[in-house]
């Protein structure tokens, strides 16, 4: 079909003008077409996923050609049988040798939806296009890039230019909304949810223009419209599951597919995913187009929430396995994957720079970085903080991690101080470290060889402590530190404006360290604390995954409730009461030990868990020949109690005084054993 400029005063001219007004961006793509009309590159390969704006761009190409008086012949793969005969008929040629005669010069041959003519790709490359006149520019537009055979042929390298279409920038999205009579400031959610995808933005703009609201998650009708733009026919079976895994996970590789699909070989399915137009390869694996991801996830959660939960849990187990078996950069990637599963949480979304998420990794600061790090901190926090930073840099430089720009310049710094390795005088020189240590001594249970660390500085060059590549690394750096620091009892985090961050940290079970605020240079900072006595790391990770599946923080359950950390004398008194009340559940339910870390760590009824714990501790004495007599006294007094102590002594064949001595020693042994267990409960119960 030959096209040109619509005649003035026709309906076509009105449509053309409206398209021009609504068209935004694509400056580089338009320039590529202008250059093709006069330069050596005579074939443009325009490709991108469905809804990315290929057809809109081709219509602008038609307008540009018309402005220059160049005729355009348009073909659409959806309207053609994939055969040479059908293509030649559309061109008005009887044979391929007639093409040079019937196609004018100069001219543009434009083929839209080229993926529908894939069977003819070799014919286009080797037969049709070589017979076109030199003055003809060819545009092949489809979802997929051209086959590698085009790039492998030296003859095509200088005359072929690849034009990949990406999402619109935020500025271009705002310009488009203005063309629709909408306010980019007021309707920013349409930009955020669409991720700049042109069709997605247009659909959401239609919704807003008609008086609707841009909901998150997307409504089913919006999802259906957008889903069809990416996937004409959804696959079934393992391929469908693989596509959904690719949407839920941050990145997808064959190992993840093997684990989730339960197969020995996922190469064929991985290859199929890689060939989809809206799935792109990256350094960590495959990832779908942002909007395609959101649409696929929204469709799955609405259509089959149980399937979503199952996929989520399998991905979770894969990530937990990686955390236990990897180190270094691979472990950091797994932590990024874990954090990414929380992206639907509103509280997490507001404190994450998702545009740069996963693109930066921390590295240890180099000896030459010291001066730059100190100046970076000075720029945001002042001279006193800079002096403190220099102090810790000299003492513990291994605690300083940096985020770098691609050119090597430092973008940000995160500094973690080991308080247990610092001298009292060094801690006293830093109000933040001093406040952290005071809080630790007053509020946290520690053994002599336990360690306590403090994230003392977190500074991004451009955003300070607001969402940025540096704050994105915060959870990655923190959890890797928690995993790799032996006997870590607690980790504290110091931040400016702590009230703004309280909801975020509370969601992640890192509560405010009340009473640990401090000032430096007239700026107030607050502390948050991760107490490993209260919730060991492996259980914390699982609680966080479950919380995401629930869709909201929800009420705190018993396992994450604030524990009661009794002093040693009060603990001993509570154990004596628990022994006495073993047969009486109601009395046990009132025992303060039901709120101890020992019992909170177990699922089920607290009173029953306490009773089982005490009985097991008593029974351990039976295995030791020297302590068996203590076990017998406890057994006949508390586990299978006799009516009186006199009757218990009689059943055991002991004088009353000997029985009472054995009983007192047995109670002391049970108290000591349970106290040791209580202290050991701070150790992560994990294979890592």
Per-residue pLDDT reduced to its tens digit, 20-33:
777 888 888 999 89
Question: What are the angstrom distances between the C-alpha of 207 and each of 170, 458, 664?
Answer: 19, 41, 76
- Band the pLDDT of 575: cuts 50, 70, 90: very high
How many angstroms separate the CA atoms of 432 and 572, rounded?
A: 35
Question: What are the angstrom distances between the C-alpha of 574 and each of 380, 580, 660?
Answer: 50, 10, 20
Backbone φ and ψ for 685, nearest 5 degrees, come out as: -85, 85
Question: What are the angstrom distances between the C-alpha of 468 and each of 356, 357, 363, 462, 472?
Answer: 7, 9, 16, 8, 6
Helices (H) and strands (E) in the chain, counts: 33, 15
How many angstroms separate the CA atoms of 654 and 404, rounded?
A: 75
Residue 430 pLDDT > 50: yes
pLDDT score recorded for residue 132 = 87
Strands (E), 113-171: 136-142, 160-164
- Band the pLDDT of 217: cuts 50, 70, 90: low
Backbone φ and ψ for 415, nearest 5 degrees, come out as: -120, 125
Q: Which two tokens mark 226?
A: 């957008």
Pair 289, 297: CB distance under 8 Å: no
β-sheet bridge partners, residue 650? none
DSSP 8-state symbol, 464: B
- pTM, two decimals, is 0.63
Q: Give residue-wise pLDDT tens across range 528-568.
A: 999 887 778 888 888 888 777 765 444 344 444 456 667 67
Pairwise pLDDT comparison (513 vs 294), residue with the higher score = 513
pLDDT score recorded for residue 202 = 81
Q: Which residues of 216-248 are buried (b: 16+ CB within 10 A; e: fewer)?
A: ebbbeebbebbbebbbeeeeeebeebbbbbbbb
Question: What are the angstrom distances between the C-alpha of 293 and each of 155, 194, 257, 298?
Answer: 38, 11, 17, 8
Residue 34 pLDDT > 80: yes
Average pLDDT value for the chain? 85
Pair 508, 540: CB distance under 8 Å: no
pLDDT score recorded for residue 396 = 97
Residue 154 pLDDT > 90: no
Mind giving me the DSSP string for 390-405?
Answer: HHHHHH-GGGEEEEE-
Beta strand 43-47 with 160-164 is parallel
Mind giving me the DSSP string for 628-678?
Answer: HHHHHHHIIIIIS--SSHHHHHHHHT--HHHHHHHHHHHHHHHHHHHHHHH
Q: Which two tokens mark 402?
A: 């940096």
Pair 65, 71: CB distance under 8 Å: yes
Query: Rounded to the nearest 5 degrees, what angle is found at the Cα of 605, between the Cα atoms of 602 and 608?
Result: 90
Q: Give residue-wise pLDDT tens across range 615-650.
A: 999 999 988 888 899 999 999 999 998 888 999 899
Residue 484 pLDDT > 50: yes
- Band the pLDDT of 469: cuts 50, 70, 90: very high
pLDDT score recorded for residue 552 = 47
Q: Give residue-wise pLDDT tens across range 379-426.
A: 999 999 999 999 999 999 999 999 998 888 899 999 999 999 999 999
Q: What is the mean pLDDT of residues 275-279?
A: 80
pLDDT score recorded for residue 7 = 55
How many angstroms separate the CA atoms of 401 and 414, rounded?
A: 5
pLDDT score recorded for residue 42 = 84
Residue 72 pLDDT > 50: yes
- Band the pLDDT of 680: cuts 50, 70, 90: low
Q: What is the mean pLDDT of residues 226-252?
A: 84
Q: Who's near 621: CB < 8 A, 6+ residues apart?
A: 627, 628, 630, 631, 634, 666, 669, 670
How many angstroms separate the CA atoms of 488 and 446, rounded?
A: 10
How many angstroms separate the CA atoms of 147 and 125, rounded?
A: 10
Residue 256 pLDDT > 60: yes
Give me the percent of the chain exceeding a pLDDT of 90: 37
Mind giving me the DSSP string for 424-451?
Answer: HHHHHT-HHHHHHHHHHHHH----TT-E
User: Could you give the residue ranges of the DSSP H alpha helices within 508-602?
Assistant: 537-550, 568-580, 585-589, 597-600
Q: What is the mean pLDDT of residues 299-306?
A: 86
Which range among 3-12, 32-41, 111-120, 512-521 shows the weakest confidence by mean pLDDT?
3-12
How many angstroms separate the CA atoms of 617 and 632, rounded?
A: 13
Give me the long-range contacts of 291-295 (CB less than 8 A, separation at least 24). 291/51, 291/167, 291/193, 291/194, 291/195, 291/197, 291/200, 291/226, 292/49, 292/230, 292/247, 293/246, 293/247, 294/193, 294/195, 294/218, 295/200, 295/218, 295/223, 295/226, 295/227, 295/230
Question: Residue 496: how many CB atoms within 10 A of its CB?
Answer: 18
């Amino acid at each position: 079909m030959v096209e040109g400029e619509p005649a003035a005063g026709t309906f076509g001219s009105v449509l053309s003008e409206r398209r021009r007004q609504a068209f935004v961006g694509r400056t580089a793509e338009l320039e590529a077409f202008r250059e093709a009309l006069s330069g050596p590159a005579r074939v443009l390969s325009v490709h991108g996923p469905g809804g990315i704006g290929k057809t809109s761009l081709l219509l602008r190409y038609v307008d540009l050609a018309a402005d220059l008086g160049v005729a355009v012949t348009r073909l659409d793969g959806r309207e053609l049988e994939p055969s040479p005969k059908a293509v030649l008929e559309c061109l008005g040629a009887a044979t391929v040798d007639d093409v040079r005669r019937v196609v004018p010069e100069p001219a543009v041959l434009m083929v839209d939806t080229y993926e529908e003519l894939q069977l003819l790709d070799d014919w286009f490359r080797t037969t049709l296009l070589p017979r076109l006149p030199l003055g003809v520019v060819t545009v092949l537009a489809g979802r997929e890039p051209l086959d590698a055979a085009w790039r492998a042929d030296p003859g095509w390298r200088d005359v072929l230019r690849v034009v990949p279409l990406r999402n619109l920038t935020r500025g271009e999205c705002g310009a488009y909304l203005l063309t629709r009579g909408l306010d980019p400031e007021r309707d920013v959610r349409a930009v955020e949810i669409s991720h700049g995808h042109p069709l997605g933005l247009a659909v959401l703009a239609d919704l807003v223009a008609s008086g609707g609201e841009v909901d998150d998650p997307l409504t089913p009708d919006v999802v259906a419209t957008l889903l069809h733009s990416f996937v004409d026919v959804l696959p079934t079976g393992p391929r469908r599951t693989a596509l959904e895994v690719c949407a839920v996970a941050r990145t997808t590789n064959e190992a993840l597919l093997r684990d989730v699909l339960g197969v020995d070989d996922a190469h064929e399915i991985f290859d199929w995913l890689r060939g989809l137009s809206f799935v792109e390869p990256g350094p960590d694996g495959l990832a779908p187009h942002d909007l395609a991801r959101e649409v696929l996830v929204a469709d799955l959660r609405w259509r089959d929430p149980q399937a979503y939960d199952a996929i989520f849990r399998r991905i979770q187990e894969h990530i937990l396995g990686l955390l236990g078996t990897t180190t270094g950069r691979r472990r950091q990637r797994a932590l990024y994957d874990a954090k990414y599963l929380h992206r639907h949480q509103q509280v997490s979304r507001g404190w994450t720079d998702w545009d740069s998420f996963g693109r930066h990794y921390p590295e240890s600061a180099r000896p030459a970085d010291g001066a730059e790090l100190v100046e970076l901190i000075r720029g945001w926090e002042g001279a006193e903080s800079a002096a403190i930073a220099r102090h810790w840099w000299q003492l513990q430089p291994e605690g300083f991690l940096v985020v770098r720009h691609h050119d090597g310049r430092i973008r940000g710094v995160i500094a973690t101080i080991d308080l247990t390795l610092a001298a009292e005088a060094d801690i006293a020189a830093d109000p933040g470290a001093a406040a952290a240590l005071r809080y630790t001594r007053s509020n946290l249970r520690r053994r002599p060889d336990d360690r306590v660390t403090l994230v003392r500085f977190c500074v991004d060059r451009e955003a300070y402590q607001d969402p940025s590549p540096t704050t994105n690394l915060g959870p990655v750096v923190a959890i890797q530190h928690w995993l790799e620091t032996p006997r870590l009892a607690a980790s504290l985090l110091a931040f400016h404006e702590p009230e703004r961050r309280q909801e975020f940290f509370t969601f992640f079970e890192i509560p405010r360290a009340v009473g640990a605020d401090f000032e430096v240079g007239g700026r107030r900072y607050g502390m948050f604390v991760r107490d490993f006595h209260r919730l060991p790391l492996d259980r914390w990770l699982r609680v966080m995954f479950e919380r995401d599946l629930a869709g909201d923080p929800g009420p705190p359950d018993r396992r994450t409730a604030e524990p009661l950390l009794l002093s040693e004398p009060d603990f001993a008194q509570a154990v004596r009461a628990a022994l006495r009340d073993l047969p009486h559940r109601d009395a046990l339910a009132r025992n303060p030990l039901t709120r101890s870390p020992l019992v909170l760590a177990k699922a089920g009824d607290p009173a029953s868990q306490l009773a089982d714990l005490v009985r097991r501790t008593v029974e351990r004495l039976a295995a030791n020949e020297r302590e068996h007599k203590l076990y017998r006294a406890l057994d006949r007094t508390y586990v299978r109690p006799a009516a009186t102590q006199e009757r218990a002594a009689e059943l055991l064949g002991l004088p009353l005084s000997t029985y009472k001595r054995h009983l007192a020693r047995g109670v002391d042994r049970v108290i000591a054993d349970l106290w040791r267990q209580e202290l050991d409960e701070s150790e992560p119960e994990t294979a890592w």
